[in-house]
Structure 1
Amino acid sequence: MTKHDAVKAFFEPKVEELCGDILNFNFSPESPDSFSLVTQYSDKVLKRYVCGDEQKAYGFSIIIVKAYSSGQDDLNLEAMNFAQAFMDWLEDQDRQKNYPDFGEKCRIQKMENLQNMPNLSGVNYQEGLARYMIQARIVYRTIANDF
């Protein structure tokens, strides 16, 4: 299983719970209530240790598409709160040390949001849709030797 497989498998149950749909991987459709994971980097070396271990990062964005309103209602606020709730869930997973399985030679150190609130990353006025983006990463250590 690759790190991509592990990350997708980790997030899929939560996405199904939240919107009853599948998690799109490296593709974000223009449809309401879609949920996508878009990779940014994998195995990016942050530190090298003299023992041969490396601290690495797996970066990704979560893209949530929700209905958008230009009226005087709370639809946009509800969408922002939905995205924020996902960020809060991600932080809870880190506190509980509940992480994707990167295999025997990897020790996940943390899973973190890289921002304090979702970004409104685009609006499709014709379709009445807005994209909310959450940037995150998983920091892990690869183990060179089992001493």
Structure 2
Amino acid sequence: MPLVSLEECLSRSYDYVVVGGGTAGLTLAGRLSEDPSVSVLVLEAGGFNPDDQLILRPAQFGVHFGQDEYVWQFKTVSQENVAGRQIGWERGKVLGGSSAVNFLAWTIPAKEDIDDWEKLGSVGWNWESFSKALSKTIS
């Protein structure tokens, strides 16, 4: 997957443009690019840090927080159950997304949590459909 300059990027057209070079975006781009007849562009706002030890060593978890080079520093809305405080919610701002700065870890949510999405209005998004998508991430 070559990296291209902005000028080169703008001089071409693409069949697919994936916005976000995090785990999901790169997985999608990888799947799309399995078809050699299509072109795929991944746009990532953050940096590409192939030799950065803070990215390459998962045990560095947490050192990225507060560093604009590595994370978007979002805050939640005020949370009633923590005395109205806003909680920091850093998200990865590098190629690899939050996984690159989050100990390279991810967790599978509880079945009940996924089923609640359908109850909240996301018709068809439940544990059964989620499980099918989940199996693709593991394969």
Task: Bin the TM-score by the shorter chain.
Answer: under 0.3
Bigger Cα Rg: 2
Normalised TM-score (structure 1): 0.21
Bigger relative contact order, structure 1 or 2 (CA pairs below 8 A, ≥6 apart)? 1
Higher percent of residues as strand: 1
